[in-house]
């Protein structure tokens, strides 16, 4: 097993799939000669050439439409958004074309494509480069949405997404690319629709995804020392949500805390609460606690930016407060 960075794990996934399937190609800004803004496509241009690692102009709606057309004709494009915030410029193509064409064509077309790139609150990237678009895209029929949180699941998810016959959006967090982990030498895949049980426990279910997984685990380390026994689930799949795994955990713990970097209003946490109330209300012994980012544009100022997102001490305090309500 070799210890690799997340960006190298993603690169390895693309390389492996391109090597065994000539229909897989990469499209995006600076993905070729430059190797991608976070080096996920480094050296792939030299190996596969201009037609399979295609540098595009700064025109997201145009190259997204081109990629969808390529997918319709049998290719398997991987579209890199230099920053996922920029994909708002291609929202029409992603929603009305990528998400719907398999249905509106009566099944005559498949759209086997992956849309991936960095997002989330970084370090002073400013409001327009700190977007969390998962909730924007979650409402679109026909899309699958996943969020990686470790080098292991990043590689496995991307390989699964490339082989899927439907459009998949893979959210990568800008602050996780330098995360390191040992990966197996053999080929492996990670399911696109299953949550990961990160830690078993009995007191409370903490549900999270992406970078917040690491904030949660920092908090859990302290909570365990205090005698608490939290269970941690990494959502992985944001569409569809693995509500069965959530229900299984709640049947044991009866309490739920959702920790997300998404905004509170209309966010992923809001959808989870709705589904939990619909299907597992009787499992709950207390109201669901939702720890989300502030509903404001992310400030450029470092201290203000830090104040907009959730940190381990807030998770610790929420667990203490929730479990103090036990009868």
Peptide bond into 240 cis (omega under 30): yes
CA distances, 26 to each of 17, 70, 116 (Å): 11, 11, 10
Taking the CB of residue 318, how many other CB atoms lie within 10 A of it? 19
Strand partners, 206: 232, 257
Is 60 part of the annotated catalytic residue set? yes
3-state secondary structure (DSSP) of residue 257? strand
SS3 100: coil
- Helix, strand, coil tally for the chain in percent (to 5): 40, 20, 40
Selecting among 45, 129, 173, 283, the annotated active-site residue is 129
CA distance 275 to 269: 10
Query: What distance in Å separates the CA atoms of residue 59 and residue 226, rounded to the nearest whole number?
Result: 52
Please list the residues that pair with 78 across neighbouring strands.
26, 114
Q: Is 215 a catalytic residue?
A: no
Catalytic residues, by residue number, are 60, 129
């Amino acid at each position: 097993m070799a210890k690799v960075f997340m960006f190298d794990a993603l690169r390895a996934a693309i390389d492996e799939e391109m090597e065994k399937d000539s229909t897989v190609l990469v499209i995006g800004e600076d993905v070729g000669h430059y190797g991608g803004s976070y080096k996920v496509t480094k050296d792939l241009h030299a190996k596969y050439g201009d037609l399979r690692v295609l540098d595009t102009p700064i025109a997201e709606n145009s190259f997204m439409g081109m990629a969808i057309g390529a997918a319709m004709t049998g290719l398997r494009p991987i579209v890199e958004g230099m920053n996922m915030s920029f994909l708002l410029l291609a929202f029409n193509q992603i929603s009305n074309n990528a998400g719907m064409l398999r249905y509106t064509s009566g099944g005559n077309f498949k759209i086997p494509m992956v849309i991936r790139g960095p997002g989330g609150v970084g370090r002073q990237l400013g409001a327009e480069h700190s977007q969390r678009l998962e909730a924007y895209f979650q409402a679109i029929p026909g899309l699958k949405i996943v969020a990686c949180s470790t080098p292991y699941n990043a590689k496995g998810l991307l390989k699964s997404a490339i082989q899927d016959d439907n459009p998949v959006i893979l959210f990568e967090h800008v602050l996780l690319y330098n995360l390191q982990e040992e990966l197996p030498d053999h080929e492996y895949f990670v399911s696109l629709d299953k949550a990961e049980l990160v830690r078993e426990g009995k007191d409370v279910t903490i549900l999270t995804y992406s970078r917040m997984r690491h904030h949660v685990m920092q908090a859990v380390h302290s909570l365990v020392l205090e005698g608490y026994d939290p269970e941690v689930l990494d959502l992985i799949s944001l569409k569809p949500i693995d509500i069965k795994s959530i229900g299984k955990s709640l049947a044991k713990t009866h309490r739920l805390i959702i920790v997300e970097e998404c905004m509170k209003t209309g966010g992923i946490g809001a959808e989870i609460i709705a589904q939990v109330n619909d299907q597992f209300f009787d499992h709950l012994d207390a109201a669901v606690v939702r720890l989300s980012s502030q509903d404001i544009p992310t400030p450029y100022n470092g201290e203000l930016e830090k104040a907009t997102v959730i940190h381990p001490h807030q998770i610790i305090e929420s667990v203490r407060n929730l479990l103090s309500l036990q009868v």
